[in-house]
């Protein structure tokens, strides 16, 4: 069985720091442990820069799993960029990572990051004011998530890179601010998950690619409906199809 790291994205957290039963990757760690895998879900700065977050993640992995055992990483959103940075720049830990699955990762940035930093951007008005305030006060991650023409870090030999692209069905409820943003982003960028365009999440032509029928939050097992009321059933029982997607990913290792 595999040693698996679950790498969270922006505004996320790892091992539950609040002891109230909420996990970023909803129900995933337990499901993978039940399958016999060794699973570690570390926390890094939720709004830190790419350099800062990747350094924290590399240190956490080295401390939790010392030695030279092989590691596989399942990463959501910015967690994918963090892990690519470790592989490329943090030799002692990076050489141990043999599989990297990125889920809804903005490899080429996100137009939402550009909109946060530019009021004249067409998406700016769709971003909730509270989120704008948080992002502006902690701009390290946002700067690194700007749209770009090339990867932050190149592929490295000996690593199997895999990508998951998320595209919610058109029939999904429109009560979510995320879907309001998705509609606007779709007009500018084509298919997207509400925060990341498919062309950014799928930038690696040789990687095995899966398409999941969920939005950016649904990729980690949480609905995006207004006020979070729809999250209550998901907290009590993570969606079965969500869990199966992650179990299937782990079978690849």
Cβ-based neighbour number of residue 59 at 10 Å: 15
Instruction: Compute φ and ψ for 6, nearest 5 degrees.
Output: -100, 110
**Count of domains in the chain?**
1
Q: Residue 25 pLDDT more than 90?
A: yes
pLDDT digits (tens, 9 = 90+) for 91-117: 899 999 999 999 999 999 999 888 888
Cβ-based neighbour number of residue 253 at 10 Å: 18
The more confidently predicted of residues 230 and 186 is 186
pLDDT score for 121: 86
Question: Which segments of 117-212 does DSSP mark as H helices, in order?
Answer: 129-137, 140-144, 177-189, 198-201
pLDDT above 90 coverage of the chain, percent? 58
**Residue 167 domain-assigned (yes or no):** yes
pLDDT score for 22: 76
pTM of the model: 0.92
Give the domain extent around 182.
Answer: 3-247
Tell me the average pLDDT across 119-142: 81
Instruction: Please report which confidence band the pLDDT of residue 231 belongs to, taking 50, 70 and 90 as the band edges.
Output: low
Mean pLDDT for the chain overall: 88
**Residue 253 domain-assigned (yes or no):** no
Distance CA 114, CA 122 (A): 10
Instruction: Please report which confidence band the pLDDT of residue 229 belongs to, taking 50, 70 and 90 as the band edges.
Output: low
pLDDT score for 18: 58
Distance CA 10, CA 34 (A): 27
Largest CA distance in the chain: 50
pLDDT digits (tens, 9 = 90+) for 155-195: 999 999 999 999 888 766 556 677 778 778 878 888 899 89
Answer whether 166's CB lies under 8 Å from 219's CB.
yes
**Residue 53 domain-assigned (yes or no):** yes
**Residue 18 domain-assigned (yes or no):** yes
> Looking up tokens 């720049």, which residue turns up?
89
Tell me the average pLDDT across 191-209: 87
The more confidently predicted of residues 170 and 54 is 54
Distance CA 56, CA 45 (A): 8
Distance CA 209, CA 70 (A): 23
**222: nearest Cα among 69, 104, 51:** 104
pLDDT score for 141: 85
The set of residues, in sequence order, having a beta carbon less than 8 Å from that of 157 and lying 6+ positions away, is none
**Residue 125 domain-assigned (yes or no):** yes
> Any idea what DSSP says for residue 178?
H
Q: Residue 52 pLDDT more than 60?
A: yes
> Any idea what DSSP says for residue 176?
S
pLDDT score for 134: 79
pLDDT score for 182: 78
pLDDT score for 219: 95
pLDDT score for 1: 87
Answer whether 5's CB lies under 8 Å from 42's CB.
yes
**Spatial strand order in the sheet of 3-7:** 38-40, 3-7, 71-76, 97-103, 160-166, 209-212
Domain containing residue 226: CATH number: 3.40.50.1820
**Residue 252 domain-assigned (yes or no):** no
**79: nearest Cα among 138, 27, 13:** 13
pLDDT score for 17: 56
pLDDT score for 19: 52
**Residue 215 domain-assigned (yes or no):** yes
């Amino acid at each position: 069985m595999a040693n698996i790291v679950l790498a969270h994205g922006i505004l996320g957290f790892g091992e539950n720091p609040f002891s109230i039963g909420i996990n970023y990757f909803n129900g995933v760690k337990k499901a993978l442990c039940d399958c016999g895998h060794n699973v570690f879900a570390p926390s890094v700065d939720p709004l830190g820069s790419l350099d800062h977050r990747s350094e924290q993640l590399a240190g956490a992995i080295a401390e939790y799993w010392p030695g030279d055992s092989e590691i596989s990483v399942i990463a959501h959103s910015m967690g994918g960029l963090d892990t690519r940075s470790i592989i490329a720049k943090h030799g002692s830990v990076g050489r141990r990572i043999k599989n990297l699955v990125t889920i809804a990762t903005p490899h080429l940035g996100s137009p939402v990051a550009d909109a946060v930093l530019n009021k004249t951007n067409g998406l700016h008005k769709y971003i909730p004011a509270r989120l704008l305030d948080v992002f502006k006060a902690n701009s390290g991650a946002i700067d690194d998530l700007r749209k770009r023409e090339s990867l932050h870090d190149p592929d490295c030999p000996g690593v199997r890179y895999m990508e998951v692209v998320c595209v919610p069905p058109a029939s999904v409820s429109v009560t979510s601010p995320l879907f309001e943003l998705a509609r606007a982003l779709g007009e500018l960028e084509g298919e997207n998950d509400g925060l990341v365009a498919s062309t950014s999440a799928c930038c690696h032509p040789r990687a095995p690619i899966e398409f999941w029928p969920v939005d950016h939050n649904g990729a980690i097992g949480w609905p995006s409906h207004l006020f979070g009321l729809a999250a209550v059933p998901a907290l009590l029982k993570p969606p079965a199809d969500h869990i199966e997607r992650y179990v299937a990913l782990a079978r690849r290792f």
